[in-house]
Structure 1
């Protein structure tokens, strides 16, 4: 099975992933799988991910949402993104129990 298919299958179901920016400790974050990439909102009232910046190499670790077993580690590159209206709505909808206000959104694209 190709890594893209494994990622697609895993990330459609995962609400949280581990993100490890180069040179930093891994951090469990909520994320949104959209258009073949992971979106991570940071700052403001959202999560903090030390080391996450435009152009930074990251490792994304996905675990099974049901068994919590390790599914895949995948290299990615973070890109600062300006979400369009549909993407911003999807990010807000993914945070059902909060009023999200973020400073930045990163699109983690897989190599």
Structure 2
């Protein structure tokens, strides 16, 4: 891996860990909350969660991470989009549930997500 790629990977991880929101380029730039886990961005859409129209039709998406302090763009990158089998990824669901603020039913998030929502993995392309 080149130093430039290493630097970009480190910037992605640092930016994703420091801020719980990011921007996705879909039909227009869309703000989304997320969690960083195991080298990827995870997010939930559908049901009572954030609407991310068109994400389900994409193989890749453009992601922008901004500074939590001043909103400046930290890094932009392409990410591979993949649905997550929630039954097989309890660790991911637990990380997301911990990061989900202001949920009306926080103790029942995994059940509601399994029924009504989709969890997504966005893997930065290196």
**Alignment TM-score, normalising by the size of structure 1:** 0.89
> Which residue, 71, 76, 86 being the options, matches 2:74?
71
Gaps of 5+ in 1: none
Q: Which of the two has greater helix per residue?
A: 2
Instruction: Name 1:106's counterpart in structure 2.
Output: 120
> Which residue, 46, 54, 59 being the options, matches 1:56?
59
Question: What's the offset of the Cα at 1:56?
Answer: 2.3
Equivalent-residue separation in structure 2 for 1:47 and 1:69 (angstroms): 23
Gaps of 5+ in 2: none
Equivalent-residue separation in structure 2 for 1:96 and 1:69 (angstroms): 23
Is the Cα–Cα contact under 8 Å of residues 67 and 74 in structure 2 kept in the other structure? yes
Q: SS state of the match for residue 77, structure 1?
A: strand
Q: Which of the two has greater strand per residue?
A: 1
Equivalent-residue separation in structure 2 for 1:39 and 1:54 (angstroms): 17
Size of the alignment, in residue pairs?
Answer: 109
**Structure ID, larger Rg:** 2
**Alignment TM-score, normalising by the size of structure 2:** 0.79
RMSD after superposition: 1.5
Equivalent-residue separation in structure 1 for 2:79 and 2:57 (angstroms): 12
Compare 77-86 and 41-50 and name the one that shifted more: 77-86
Instruction: Name 2:23's counterpart in structure 1.
Output: 18
Q: CA offsets, 1:29-71, max 9 Å, x none?
A: 0011111110110011100001101652110000001111111
